Amino acid sequence: MDRFNTENLLADLKNPDREIRNAATAKLWQSWFEQKGEMGLQNLIQAGAYLDSGQLQQAESLLTAIIAKEPDFAEAWNRRALIYYLRGEYEKSKRDCQEVVKLNSIHFGAWHGLGLCHGKLQEYVEAIAALRKALEIQPYSLENKRLILEYTARLN
């Protein structure tokens, strides 16, 4: 995705019109999934099928192989972070989320995931910081706002 289009989509995430925001969100996710072309997309779809059928080990193995071949494929890291999170492996998930945001600093999903991991690890200051980064990109996210309030309350 070219820079101009990405900038337009990021601006659309801040639009008060929900339909415009939802369309921009979908287009950004699509671009992240398609970063490595058709083969990369098909691999992510296969990993998703494993995940949906509860075959977490197969999904993790496939994503780890993709990452080994394409270490700059941010969405492969993000999908693997999800698997780790679902298994309660929050430190591993956190590391993968951190890799995603190094590769793609506008990945609001990874910032959200990073906030969730920090929250599970009771690292509330870090959780709030990550969720605020997600909100900078996607300011209408009620879930991120809710989590910030929840984690702020836990600080006291």
Domain definitions of the chain by residue range:
3-155
**Model confidence over 28-43: pLDDT tens digits?**
999 999 999 999 999 9
CATH number of the structural domain 3-155: 1.25.40.10
Q: What is the DSSP letter of 118?
A: H
pLDDT at 46: 97
pLDDT at 31: 94
Distances in Å between the Cα of 79 and the Cα atoms of 20, 87, 90 are 25, 13, 14
User: What's the rounded Cα separation, in Å, for the pair 87 and 57?
Assistant: 10
pLDDT at 156: 73
- Chain-centroid distance of CA 80 in Å reads 10
* Token pair in block for residue 151: 């984690």
- Whether the CA torsion 104, 14, 131, 47 is positive or negative: it is negative
pTM as predicted: 0.94
Q: Which is nearest to 126 in space by CA: 85, 106, 155?
A: 155
Give the residues of the chain that fall short of pLDDT 50: none
